[in-house]
Structure 1
Amino acid sequence: MFAVEAGRAPLNERELSGWVARASRPSRKTVAGFDLTFTPVKSVSAVWALASREVAAEIGAAYRSLIGDVIAYIERDALADAWVATATAAAPLDR
């Protein structure tokens, strides 16, 4: 395989072993990604920490619901628009 790619025999064992090491590595493909962090403002965190269990549970439920709404918006509108803007051959999106 070295000879086919290089068009010649390896010069020495070191060259061959280096080629084998490079050829053995899994191929890497760069992909775009997003890393989102959702943190409530300090006042909400403080109220949650000092609240009764019932109120803290309501604050937590509201926060989880908000995160669900934000993720839905990002998936539905923000990422779809970014994908369409950068795609070379964008297919129509169902909205």
Structure 2
Amino acid sequence: MVKLVNLPNYLTFARIIIAPLLVVVLLTPVADSLFGISGYALAIVIFLVAALTDILDGHLARRRNQVSNLGKFLDPIADKLLVSAALIVLVEKQLAPSW
């Protein structure tokens, strides 16, 4: 039996947490004031880290034989949440068309 609390699931949970963080970074001047870098640059880094967790969670789950029903359920939700959050913010900031 696979434990529900394992590294692949932690990576999926991290991606779920990263989605609202991405929204905050893109919609507020927090990156400029805290880090002195463009919010867009920080958002790109955050998105790439999230994408890396997506690659790693599935790979680790299969390699370590830790595939769980929770992971199978949450992984696509985390993917859609992250991509939707990024797209909604880009449309809101008029950096992507809303068609």
Tell me the TM-score normalised to structure 1 length. Answer: 0.35
Higher RCO, 1 vs 2 (CA within 8 Å, ≥6 residues apart): 2
* Structure (1 or 2) with the greater helix fraction: 2
Of structures 1 and 2, the larger Rg is shown by: 1
